[in-house]
Amino acid sequence: MGDLQIGAWADELLAGLWVTVYITVLGAVAAVVVAFALGLLVRMRHIVPRTIARVVIEFFRGSSLLVQLFWLFYVLPLLGYPLNPVVVGVLAFGLNFGAYGAEVVRGSINAVPKAQWEGTVALSLSPYHRMRRVILPQAYPLMIPPFGNLLIQLIKSTPLVFLITLTDLTAVADQYRASEGREAFIFGLLLVIYFVLAYVFTLVMHLLEARAKAGLGQREDPRKILAYRGPMEEEREAA
Amino acid sequence: MGYALDVLPRILEAFLRYTLLATALASALAAVLGLVFAVIRRVRVPVLAPLTTAFVEFVRSTPIPIQLFFLFYVLPEAGLTLPGLFVGVVTLGVHYACYYAEVYRAGIDGVPKAQWEACTALSMSPRYQWQHVVLPQAVRNVLPSLGNYVISMFKETPYLFLIAVPEMVQEAVAIGGRDFRYLEPVTIAGLIFLAASYPSAIAMRRLEKRLGHA
């Protein structure tokens, strides 16, 4: 492997890693916001918000992420919105994963035992207080494992931003490949970096889950949080 | 509207020739390979079982685009020059096999213990037991999950774009670049995805209900 010339590229790779991480984080935040908005709308009794939310969810789950990314990238400017690629990427990830997340939010809220709902009615809590103080705190720990799976899916989708001109990790690796060759080395290295990245985010989700459960009086052994758990059960339900 | 109708045939052709073909071939590969992974892990084949687990974990945690690039650039170095479509099918197939392995595992775990005991009582050979008792029940129970993964994979076939396979999205963007009109081709590509995946997703939900469990 004599002279790999990786030293000169280390800074660029780090810069690319930074782009990947912040697109992931911003995309995840956007997705959570969209997921809660759509997930709450789709549970409403009134038919109008419910239908709109359902259509948006099915639309973004049903068409491909890459198409959505390209659509925002190529079509929005034509309609008069000069967007920068970061906004396009975050918007596409937010809407796509938010649509998947909406189902998680809806399902977790529905999974809160019926007696809890009845209790809030008996105490005549306002709908806002019912959600904020009773239902969501119990639904929240249920949401974290499926959200964790979606987060991993999101990280695995970030290389696509390379197609909308962002210089993420994959884009830097592709430049390296174009000028230095050494394809096996650079893409092998990239696989390892993404694997580590996914693992770090998984650990963060485990910590969040433990904290949320502790809030409900279900403490977890700290060793269990860090322990390797194997593949998660819940699969991302395809639409 | 006239323009949309003009470009529709070319996009549809790319859809049928590449997108659908890649989905069909890759899901067939994933179905077979995933089953092999699941059985290796279930039977606890020495050496192979932990290796399979590690492989499955690694593949599931790394992005398909990078896996595509890796195979696309590394196979020729090893002296294998293969068409992009083939590399794409192998990558998607192996990637989803790692998800299928988990689904099959859940299905195999769901086969009641009495079924296994009955096989032992009837002194069936392991092969006969798997082939005629365990797998038919296991696979039937997880068909909706498998179907949902096929739909997921279908929506990830545009990734083959990255290794220059002229599938539908590539074609749509190429048409857009040629005519400087991205709105129609890209929208059509999206609508075709929706038109194909939404009914299939509903069919899977029905099947799930008919089989009577989630």
Cα B20 from chain centroid?
Answer: 12
Measured at the CA of A41, the angle between CA A39 and CA A46, to 5 degrees, comes to: 145
Under CATH, to which class is A7-226 assigned?
mainly alpha
Q: What is the mean pLDDT of residues B151-156?
A: 91
**pLDDT-derived band of residue A234, with 50, 70 and 90 as boundaries?**
very low
Over residues A69-89, the mean pLDDT reads: 85
The mean pLDDT value for B110-135 works out to 92
DSSP readout, B136-152?
HHHHHHHHHHHHHHHHH
- Which candidate in B15, B55, B56, B62 is best for mutational testing of the A interface (most A CBs within 10 A)? B62
Indicate whether B64 pLDDT > 60.
yes
Q: Does residue A239 carry a pLDDT above 50? A: no
> DSSP assignment, residue A235?
P
Phi, psi dihedral angles at A217 (to 5 degrees): 80, 15
Q: Residue B34's CB: how many other CB atoms inside 10 A?
A: 26
Cα A63 from Cα A67, distance rounded (Å): 7
Residue B214 reports pLDDT greater than 90: no
Domains of chain B, residue spans: 19-167
Where does the pLDDT of residue A2 fall: very low under 50, low under 70, confident under 90, or very high at 90 and above? very low
Residues 6+ apart with CB under 8 A from A136: A109
For residues A216 and B133, the model is more confident at: B133
| CB of B190 less than 8 A from some CB of A | yes
Distance CA A182, CA A185 (A): 5
Nearest chain A CA: its distance from B182 CA (Å): 6
Q: Identify the weakest region by mean pLDDT among A7-11, B64-68, B137-141.
A: A7-11
Confidence of residue A130 (pLDDT cuts 50, 70, 90): very high
* Interface check B106 vs A, CB under 8 A: yes
Mean pLDDT computed over A113-120:
93
Instruction: Kindly state the DSSP code that residue B46 receives in the 8-state scheme.
Output: T
Query: What are the domain boundaries of chain A?
Result: 7-226
**Closest chain A residue by Cα to residue B189:** A67
What's the rounded Cα separation, in Å, for the pair A69 and A166? Answer: 12
Half-sphere exposure of B39 (CA within 13 A, CB side): 15
Dihedral, CA atoms, B90, B95, B100, B101, nearest 10 degrees? 100
Spelled out in words, what is the top-level CATH class assigned to the domain B19-167?
mainly alpha
Q: How far is B76 from chain A (nearest CA, A)?
A: 10
pLDDT band at A236 (very low <50, low <70, confident <90, very high): very low
Mean pLDDT of A117-121: 93
Residues of A in contact with B77 (CB under 8 A): 183-184
Average pLDDT of span A116-139: 92
Among the ranges A29-38, B106-115, B142-151, B168-177, which has the highest mean pLDDT value? A29-38
Mean per-residue pLDDT, A148-169: 92
Q: Is B72 exposed, middle or buried (0-12, 13-18, 19+ CB in 10 A)?
A: buried
Q: Name residues whose C-beta falls within 8 Å of residue A103's C-beta, 6 or more positions apart in sequence.
A: A39, A57, A237
Asked whether the beta carbons of A141 and A216 are under 8 A apart, the reply is yes
Residues of A in contact with B190 (CB under 8 A): 63-64, 67-68, 71
Query: What pLDDT sits at residue A218?
Result: 78
Q: List CB contacts of A172: < 8 A, sequence separation 6 or more.
A: A9, A12, A13, A15, A16
Q: Is B119 touching A (CB cutoff 8 A)? A: no
Give the mean model confidence (pLDDT) for residues B135-150.
89
Sign of torsion over alpha carbons B95, B97, B102, B103? positive
Mean pLDDT value across chain B = 89
Question: What is residue A233's predicted lDDT score, i.e. its pLDDT?
Answer: 42
- Residue B144 clears pLDDT 60, i.e. is over it: yes
Interchain proximity B106–A236, CB inside 8 Å = no
Report pLDDT for A227.
65
Taking residues B60-67, report their average pLDDT. Answer: 94
pLDDT band at A237, cuts 50/70/90?
very low
Residue B198 Cα distances to A17, A58, A238, B168, angstroms: 35, 8, 9, 18
Question: For the segment B81-93, what is each residue's pLDDT rounded down to a tens digit?
Answer: 888 899 999 999 9
Long-range residue pairs from A197-204, CB within 8 A, at least 24 positions apart, any chain: A197/A17, A197/A20, A197/A21, A197/A24, A197/A155, A198/A152, A198/A155, A198/A156, A198/B61, A198/B62, A199/B61, A201/A24, A201/A148, A201/A151, A201/A152, A201/A155, A202/A148, A202/A152
CB A81 within 8 A of CB A96: no
The pTM of this model reads 0.88
Share of chain A above pLDDT 90, in %: 58
Name the band, by pLDDT with cuts 50, 70 and 90, for residue B213.
Answer: low
Query: B19, B96, B155: best mutation site toward chain A, by most A Cβ within 10 Å?
Result: B155
Name the pLDDT band for A229 (thresholds 50, 70, 90): low
